[in-house]
Amino acid sequence: MFKTKLTMILSSVVALIPVAIYLFLYSKMPDTVPIHYDGNMADRFVSKASLEVILQSGLGCLGFIIMKLLQFLLQKAFIQSSNEHSAALSKIWNIAILVVTVVFAGISSYTFIRMV
């Protein structure tokens, strides 16, 4: 149980890192930032306060929420087998949730760092 709580807390913190980076870098960002690239050339620009940029900061949270929802739905659908292997499934889900959250948060963080 302790490892599950620790992993969920760690995943939550990792999910919020891009939001913190966005808030920290907001004043350093140019007024217009690239939001889409075609190869190495930016081909779409938006205001740094646009909804698209704000949503970009929530990618880590989105990954975390999707994985938790998926875990809940699959446990409901396969309740019999999840009861038989509860400890093993819990470990696998915790690792998967953390990995997906780190990947989504990493993508989001990388884009904000590149915007400055």
3-state secondary structure of 43: strand
pLDDT reported for residue 39: 83
Burial profile 54-75: b = 16 or more Cβ within 10 angstroms, e = fewer: eebbbbbbbbbeebeeebeeeb
Domain extent at residue 52: 2-115
Q: Are 57 and 18 in contact (CB under 8 A)?
A: yes
DSSP 81: H
Asked whether the predicted pLDDT for residue 2 surpasses 60, the reply is no
pLDDT reported for residue 90: 80
Task: Express each pLDDT in 45-95 by its tens digit.
Answer: 999 999 999 999 999 999 999 999 998 888 777 766 656 677 777 888 889
Mean model confidence pLDDT for the chain: 87
pTM: 0.81
Number of domains in the chain: 1
Asked whether the predicted pLDDT for residue 25 surpasses 80, the reply is yes
In one letter, which amino acid is 50? S
